[in-house]
Structure 1
Amino acid sequence: MIETSHAGIAVTQSAGEGPPVLMIHGNSSCKEVFRNQLDGQIGAAYRCIAMDLPGHGASQNAANPEKTYSMPGYAEAAIELMRELGHDRYAMLGWSLGGHIGLEMLTRTDAISGLMITGSPPVGRGEEQLSAGFLPSEHMGLAGQRDFSEAEIDAYARATCGINAPFEPFLREAVARTDGNAREMMLGSFVRGVGANQQEAAVNAAVPLAIVNGGAEPFVNNEFVAALTYRNLWEDRVHLMEGIGHAPFWEAPDAFDVYLKRFLESL
């Protein structure tokens, strides 16, 4: 548990002694979703650091929700965490909300050596831009809902990780534990355009930006993501994993880690 000005933040670190890699999970999830990377070859080679966002997992709820539960707030919390851990340069893997936080971080720190995002369409500001980057879905409607019924907890946990992905109790527990204020306030501020223009951040990234999405992504408009013209897109293409859903690193870790390993080596 690392104390920050936002909350006590729970982290898990792999045993690897290579360069640090920060991993940030999605909305209403937790750091354990990166278990396969932490416990596998990636974690053995690199110092992988998976954090629970404030209001999620084993981290504390935000001390000041207005300050923390937004893209800028989460980005500043992650930057502060890495500074507390003594890392002034690190790569990042961000999934869904975590990828959006990574894009926000690109506009706030020079510490990131490269960013890989998955399930995170680089959208501009405002509701119209969000609609272009995301596909309509009943589960997307839950992303900003404060309170969940038992059925909604189960449905959201299963849908976000992929209907064909392994399902374990911790995934449901993470949704049930999440501070409802975190969902409601984060999405509300995102819709209002609070924070960086993430499309501009992605298109103009000064460091390599890798995009690896599931080809059967139920939430993200992959055509929108591929149509943008990026200044620094890793391997000059958006990678799609055929038949894989919203969390490819969890659903198909062996296949996903081929991309992640290659990306980290390239940095």
Structure 2
Amino acid sequence: MAIAERTISTPQADLRVSESAGPGMPIVMIHGSGASRAVFARQFDSPLADAHRLIAFDLPGHGESSDAADPATDYTITGLARSAAELIDNLNVRHAIVYGWSLGGHVAIELASFHPVVKGLMLTGAPPVSKGFFGMLRGFHANWDMLLASKKFYSERDAERFETLCFGDSADASFRENILRTDGRLRATVTRSMMAGKGADQKQVIEQADFPVAIVNGENDPFIRINYFDTLDCGTLWEQCHVVPGAGHAPFWERPDLFNPMLSRFAGWVAAQDAGIVVPARRRAG
């Protein structure tokens, strides 16, 4: 499957985009802090790209996208979601499944709070937390490594540590370069915006969603509290909260053999629901 590459200008930044040309419902993929659309290479190099219009882009301040035009506004969680919305509208996408990983998951939830394009949402490494500092503490481990998420300037050692936390020992050679390329103002600004309770109450967005929500986390994710997801009361949860064995923060990269069929199954289920075909959302015991 040929992958098209282009740059799309939005008020927030010039965004670099990769797309496949599969005929199925589009899947918009949003990467995490310090990464780029390159982390989804194992989805683009799979049957998913033949079956669906995969769309992945570099967030402002990341990868081959430009830095934000107005960092103080555009690097907040709301600003990042607005940039995703501008891109989606520019691509003339009307219905889509949105997959968000880590920071990208929080951007995806914020996007879903105001944009009708979201017909299904899959999250990895992104606990939907209530507003403010204490809400975040419930979803994330409190340790020194978490400070890297908000640190403005990275040393080589910081970049190495962050790469290990995100990808274990499975990182591609380009991932360290992407971490060091990232505009550090984004890390500081987006963390402050979430700590201050800016944007939507993400827990409420998920619990009150009228679209299917899938949750897929790695068994050994060093950032998030896996048991936090058991506290969510999401009436549109797809199947169950899935945990990928042997994976850390990035199961789509570490275990695509397990992750890709799951995303394919969810995408098929969402497409059927969107077409008016009623299928049970939860797995039945036995």
TM-score interval (norm. to shorter): over 0.9
**Aligned twin of 1:52:** 58
Structure with larger RCO (C-alpha < 8 A, sep 6+):
1
Q: Where do 1:82-161 residues align within 5 Å?
A: 82-161=88-167
Q: 162, 177, 182: which one pairs with 1:178?
A: 182
The answer to whether 1:168 aligns with 2:172 is: yes
Percent identical residues:
39
The answer to whether 1:218 aligns with 2:218 is: no
In our comparison, the structure showing a higher alpha carbon Rg is 2
User: What is the CA-CA distance between 1:45 and the residue it aligns to?
Assistant: 0.7
**Aligned twin of 1:80:** 86
Task: Name the amino acid aligned to 1:69.
Answer: Y
The answer to whether 1:26 aligns with 2:28 is: no
**Aligned twin of 1:249:** 252
Q: Unaligned 5+ residue runs, structure 1? A: none
TM-score, structure 2 length as denominator? 0.90
**Number of residues paired by the alignment?**
264
Q: 196, 200, 203: which one pairs with 1:196?
A: 200
**Over residues 71-96 of structure 1, what are the superposed CA-to-partner deviations in whole Å (9 max), with x where a residue is unaligned?**
11111110110110111111111000
Q: 68, 79, 88: which one pairs with 1:62?
A: 68
The answer to whether 1:207 aligns with 2:211 is: yes
Q: Unaligned 5+ residue runs, structure 2? A: 1-6, 271-286
- Matched residues in 2 for 1:175 and 1:140: separation? 15
Could you say what secondary structure the match of 1:146 adopts?
coil
User: What is the CA-CA distance between 1:225 and the residue it aligns to?
Assistant: 1.1
User: What is the CA-CA distance between 1:264 and the residue it aligns to?
Assistant: 0.1
Could you say what secondary structure the match of 2:158 adopts?
helix
**Aligned twin of 2:263:** 260
- Matched residues in 2 for 1:266 and 1:137: separation? 38
TM-score, structure 1 length as denominator? 0.97
CA-based RMSD of the aligned residues comes to: 1.0
User: What is the CA-CA distance between 1:139 and the residue it aligns to?
Assistant: 2.4
